[in-house]
Chains A and B, each alone.
Chain A
């Protein structure tokens, strides 16, 4: 049976100025779309995210690039997740948290269309790619009528499906800073199925940068266990400046579980999720440490 989705209009800007014109004209009635894989599925009640809105298709503005700059890797807002996964640098050891998250994100078929920009801007608490991005402490370049501004990813998530973009702003690119030497990272996802499409019950990413025998920079990002993906800073502080021995990792994993605030839902209970946070964080830290050593 054919389905007519209820969109008021479709706009295909060829550059940023044209996109901002449309966003300014329609304000809250505009919905930016790239791949569309999160916007188009029907929700209960025949609704979808862009219902009644003017679609602004950003897939034809030259924003599908992935390139190395002076300060890091720049990923355009419309770059598909599969293209990001195929970028050679990301299969090298310090960036494995990202390639692991890509491999767990939906399926190959969906990743041919879905973009990292969409995964970030939809601001789902369980977005797989948000976690490595938090672990890499990326910056988001946003543009609006007043010009460009940078938002650290930690300040980007305002609530479930709510991000820091104003209605007349859009994401331009994500910059992943080059990893420092002696860095190991990892991503882990717990789902009912490990390979096919499923939302995470818990997903985590960790990044460890060592100085001598001790941890220098530590980042621990948690997903699906709060209204937004977030950093467990109390857990990070337990490791920072200390040797990552078994007991310290155990303490940090426990602190991460304490920092989590999951809910009971159809997928899992809050109590189960909390227990699994500690286990996944411990495993991810161990993987990060092993990778730094190798």
Chain B
């Protein structure tokens, strides 16, 4: 089986590597690059724990091969924080108590991040639609939705500020 050379830009850093045709993106992120913030839950696209941001869009890293991401710019939960400052979404998930066990949180935040990038003032309905692929089994959904609303308004204030 022939390996394929790919390049990925992950959280601003370029990486070159040779991958097997069947290597999934989630495994490359977690095991080759050590970015274990991205979680794998179901492995079949239903739970959303592996959600990352690729070229500005939320995608599921368990439903993608690493070769399909060749040349892409990827953002994972590790890339949101700026220095010591948490991203407003991370801050809002904490202040709204939108985290319990935390396993779904990176995926929820990355799906929310893609939403806010494309729609800076999302409605509650839009947030629920954007998070429909992210399953939480402990906190529920109201608090994450509140957190996203709070982060979006906070970010808008900051931009207008």
Choose among A40, A57, A107, A109 the residue with the greatest number of B CB atoms under 10 Å from its CB: A109
Tell me, yes or no, whether A266 is within 8 Å of chain B by CB.
no
For B2, list chain A residues within 8 Å (CB). Answer: 9
For A55, list chain B residues within 8 Å (CB). Answer: 21, 65
Taking a contact as CB atoms closer than 8 A, the residue among A1, A2, A41 that contacts B44 in the complex is A41
Contact A108 B129 (CB under 8 A): yes
Tell me, yes or no, whether A196 is within 8 Å of chain B by CB.
yes
Contact A57 B68 (CB under 8 A): yes
Interface residues of B in 41-64 (CB under 8 A from A): 43-46, 48, 51, 57-60, 62-64
Q: A3-B24, A8-B1 are in contact. Are A112 and B128 (CB under 8 A)?
A: no
Taking a contact as CB atoms closer than 8 A, the residue among A6, A40, A59 that contacts B63 in the complex is A40
A interface residues, how many (CB within 8 angstroms): 30
Contact A108 B132 (CB under 8 A): yes
Taking a contact as CB atoms closer than 8 A, the residue among B22, B111, B130 that contacts A6 in the complex is B22
Report the minimal beta-carbon distance from B64 to chain A, rounded to whole angstroms. Answer: 6
Tell me, yes or no, whether B78 is within 8 Å of chain A by CB.
no
For B4, list chain A residues within 8 Å (CB). Answer: 10
For B60, list chain A residues within 8 Å (CB). Answer: 37, 109-110, 113
Contact B21 A9 (CB under 8 A): yes
Tell me, yes or no, whether B16 is within 8 Å of chain A by CB.
no
Complex Cα gap A37–B133 (Å):
13
Contact A110 B45 (CB under 8 A): yes
Residue of A nearest to B48 (CB): A109
Tell me, yes or no, whether A42 is within 8 Å of chain B by CB.
yes
Contact A109 B111 (CB under 8 A): yes
Q: What is the 8 Å Cβ interface bit string for chain B, positions 114-141, against chain A (1 contact, 0 not)?
A: 0000000000000011101100000000
| A interface residues with partner B (beta carbon < 8 Å) | 1-10, 12, 33, 36-37, 40-42, 55, 57, 59, 106-110, 112-113, 195-197
24 contacts between A and B (CB under 8 A): A3-B24, A5-B22, A5-B24, A5-B65, A6-B22, A8-B1, A9-B1, A10-B67, A36-B65, A36-B68, A37-B63, A40-B24, A41-B44, A55-B21, A55-B65, A107-B48, A109-B51, A109-B58, A109-B60, A109-B130, A110-B60, A110-B63, A113-B60, A195-B128
